[in-house]
């Protein structure tokens, strides 16, 4: 006879879900330095907005920055004005947006399916490795994913209910998305909804929704004023910089260092949705039967478009794929609610934890083959940190707990899997990521604080660390150093500078002073 399974009541489930959201999105957001390049760039542009009082146009290191629209900077500005210039304040808007994004998933799935699937889908979203990273990152993507989730789930709900109020919600969210990240907030909902309505043979209904005058007016009221004002102030430079370079240009060509093959996003998805990777393969079972469900069709169209579009794009960045994760979590919640055995699904997060446990040994093996002094210094920094915190033992313990929990006889399989998967996510968030921050970014922060204390003017040479501007509270020139300059660079570049005075150095990040007179070489 099968043992009686423990099934928590609603209050316990909601408390557990709230705990997962807090640990994934909020816990520790102020404890680690900003990561470069993205976190440093967004945060510094916000800091410069605070100093300049120019709330229309963003600048980075004193130069125009057209990478993204204005919304994320306004949100970060509000946060640092409330909590000060620190990592917590810069990251708080993303954590709040991710929480609202989780709420959008929960309420949509509860409305369309049931409460059990809603809790599971939301928990899997909160535990996703990639989601938990961008939820704690001072960048624009958590806000965009919130807007995409609200827009597209509202469009589906409008299709089902035919209520116009959902169109207004969709267009309002689309307007905020346009204000946060630009045309991608329009492109994805328009294409996905078009293909879905076409598949349902309801194109007339789609055109009525998309051409609703009230909805369009709502979108324009939210999104248009900033674009008009920015164009009036910056003219063609705004068109060339924002639309041509950072939108059309990113699709047509590759940004420096951000190219990839047509299969680039396959490993990104497999790792990014961890611990839910095993559920992805289960979606293809009985696919023809499942496609009879309009919600399944909608979700698969949504994910497929994002995957194909960004796979064809010239510029490839891992977080682009997150735009298509919301529909996967919706489907995963449905699949997880029906599983009878969880250990096979847990093999994926367990395997990743075992790979992380083997990382110190791999780095030790790799070290002798590295000729670059900076890479050597960084790897040595990781090895030192890993030894100090017994990294491999912690990862092995997490892997053992993740797998052994799947055989706990009193827990329902879905609950076993969720709790087991949490060992991967929280090991990554509270052990691996803080360690990476200490090795890669803490030296930049310390060098900046040293420069600020000594009131040094800095030249950045062959490096680009925007977080340095945040922590130093000043700009830096980017050029070849001259006699007397104080230079931020990396250890592998020092030989080209000749004799220098070392002011600060850690993990290959160097702050040096050039001699006042040129030296003969």
pLDDT band at 261 (very low <50, low <70, confident <90, very high): confident
Rounded alpha-carbon distances, angstroms, from residue 249 to 232, 314, 317? 22, 8, 14
Q: How many C-beta atoms surround the C-beta of residue 16 within 10 A?
A: 17
DSSP characters over 48-74: HHHHH---SS-EETTEE--SS-SHHHH
515 contacts 490 by C-beta, under 8 angstroms: no
Per-residue pLDDT tens over the stretch 448-464: 999 999 999 999 999 99
SS3 per-residue string spanning 370-430: CCCHHHHHHHHHHHHHHHHHCHHHHHHHHHHHHHHHHHCCCECHHHHHHHHHHHHHHHHHH
Tell me: pLDDT of 372 over 60: yes
Whole-number pLDDT of residue 247? 66
CA pair distance 398, 392, nearest whole angstrom: 10
E strand or H helix that includes residue 487: strand 486-490
What's the pLDDT score for residue 242? 78
What is the pLDDT at residue 8? 74
Residues 6 or more apart whose Cβ sits within 8 Å of residue 110: 117, 118
User: What residues have CB less than 8 Å from 493, skipping those under 6 apart?
Assistant: 374, 461, 462, 510
Per-residue pLDDT at 493? 94
- What is the C-alpha end-to-end distance of the chain, expressed in Å? 84
Q: What is the pLDDT of residue 258?
A: 61
pTM of structure: 0.94
In sequence order, which residues have a C-beta less than 8 Å from that of residue 395 and are 6 or more positions away?
Answer: 353, 354, 356, 357, 359, 427, 431
**Mean pLDDT to the nearest integer, 461-481:** 95
Cβ proximity of 241 and 307 under 8 Å: no
Strand 458-460 and strand 476-478: pairing?
Answer: parallel
C-beta neighbour count of 414 within 10 angstroms = 24
* For the chain, percent of residues with pLDDT exceeding 70: 95
Please give the Cα distance from 377 to 70 (Å, whole number): 38
What's the mean pLDDT when you consider all of the chain?
Answer: 93
Angle made by CA atoms 118, 119, 122, in degrees to the nearest 5: 85
Give the span between the Cα atoms of 420 and 37, in whole angstroms.
33
pLDDT given at position 467: 97
Q: For residues 512 and 447, what is the distance between their CA atoms, to the nearest angstrom?
A: 10
Per-residue pLDDT, 264? 92
Mean pLDDT, residues 225-232 taken together = 93
Pairing of strands 458-460, 63-64: unpaired
Half-sphere exposure of 6 (CA within 13 A, CB side): 9
Write b or e for each residue in 150-176: b if 16 or more Cβ atoms lie within 10 A of its Cβ, otherwise e.
bbbbbbbbbbeeeeeebbbbbbbbbbb
Angle at 274 between CA 272 and CA 280, to 5 degrees: 95
Q: What's the sign of the alpha-carbon dihedral 7, 10, 12, 15? A: positive
In this predicted structure, what is the pLDDT of residue 283?
83
What pLDDT is attached to residue 411?
A: 87
Q: Average pLDDT of 245-267?
A: 70
pLDDT category at 240 given cuts 50, 70, 90 is confident
Q: What is the DSSP string of 177-244?
A: HHHHT-THHHHHHHHHHHHHHHHTT-HHHHHHHHT-HHHHHHHHHHHHHHHHHHHHHHTHHHIIIIII
Distance CA(132)–CA(425), nearest Å, equals: 8
Whether the predicted pLDDT of 5 surpasses 70: no
pLDDT at 138: 97
Of 355, 306, 356, 354, the C-alpha closest to 326 is 306
Taking only the tens place, the pLDDT of each residue in 136-188 is: 999 999 999 999 999 999 999 999 999 999 999 999 999 999 999 999 999 99
Name the residue with higher pLDDT: 123 or 410: 123
Q: What is the pLDDT of residue 521?
A: 45
The CA-CA-CA angle for residues 352, 358, 359, to 5°, reads 90
pLDDT band per the 50, 70, 90 thresholds, residue 3: low
pLDDT number for residue 285 = 74
């Amino acid at each position: 006879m099968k043992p009686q399974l423990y099934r928590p009541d609603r209050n316990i489930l909601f408390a557990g879900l709230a705990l997962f959201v807090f640990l994934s999105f909020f816990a520790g957001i102020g404890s680690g330095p900003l990561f470069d390049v993205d976190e440093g760039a967004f945060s510094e542009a916000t800091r410069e907005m605070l100093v300049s009082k120019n709330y229309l146009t963003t600048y980075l290191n004193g130069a125009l920055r057209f990478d993204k629209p204005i919304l994320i900077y306004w949100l970060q500005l509000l946060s640092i004005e409330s909590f000060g210039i620190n990592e917590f304040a810069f990251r708080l808007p993303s954590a709040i947006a991710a929480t609202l994004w989780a709420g959008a998933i929960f309420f949509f799935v509860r409305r369309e399916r049931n409460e059990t699937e809603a809790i599971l889908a939301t928990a899997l979203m909160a535990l996703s490795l990639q989601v938990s990273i961008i939820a704690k990152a001072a960048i624009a993507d958590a806000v965009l994913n919130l807007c995409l989730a609200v827009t597209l789930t509202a469009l589906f709900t409008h299709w089902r209910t035919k209520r116009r109020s959902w169109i207004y919600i969709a267009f309002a969210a689309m307007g905020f998305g346009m204000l946060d990240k630009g045309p991608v907030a329009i492109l994805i909902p328009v294409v996905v909804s078009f293909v879905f309505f076409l598949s349902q043979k309801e194109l007339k209904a789609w055109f009525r929704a998309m051409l609703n005058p009230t909805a369009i007016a709502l979108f324009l009221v939210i999104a248009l004023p900033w674009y008009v004002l920015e164009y009036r102030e910056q003219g063609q430079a705004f068109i060339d910089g924002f639309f041509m370079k950072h939108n059309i240009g990113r699709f047509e060509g590759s940004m420096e260092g951000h190219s990839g093959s047509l299969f680039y996003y396959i490993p990104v998805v497999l790792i990014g949705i961890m611990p839910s990777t095993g559920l992805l393969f289960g979606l293809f079972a009985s696919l023809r039967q499942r496609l009879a469900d309009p919600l399944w069709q909608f979700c698969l169209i949504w994910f497929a478009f994002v995957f194909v579009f960004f796979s064809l794009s010239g510029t490839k960045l891992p977080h682009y794929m997150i735009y298509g994760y919301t529909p996967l979590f919706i489907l995963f919640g449905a699949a997880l609610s029906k599983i009878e055995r969880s250990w096979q699904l847990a093999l994926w997060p367990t395997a990743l934890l075992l790979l992380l446990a083997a990382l110190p040994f791999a780095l030790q093996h790799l070290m002798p083959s590295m000729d670059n002094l900076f890479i050597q210094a960084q790897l040595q920094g990781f090895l030192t940190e890993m030894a100090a915190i017994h990294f491999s033992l912690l990862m092995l313990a997490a892997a053992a707990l993740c797998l052994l929990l799947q055989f706990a006889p009193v827990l329902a399989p879905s609950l076993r899997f969720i709790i087991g998967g949490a060992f991967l996510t929280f090991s990554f968030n509270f052990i691996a990521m803080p360690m990476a921050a200490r090795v890669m970014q803490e030296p930049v922060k310390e060098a900046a604080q040293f420069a600020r204390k000594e009131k040094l003017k800095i030249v950045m040479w062959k490096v680009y660390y925007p977080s340095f501007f945040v922590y130093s509270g000043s700009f830096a020139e980017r050029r070849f150093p001259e006699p007397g300059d104080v230079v931020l660079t990396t250890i592998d570049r020092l030989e080209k500078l000749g004799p220098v005075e070392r002011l600060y150095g850690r993990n290959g990040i160097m702050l040096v002073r050039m001699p006042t007179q040129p030296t003969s070489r």
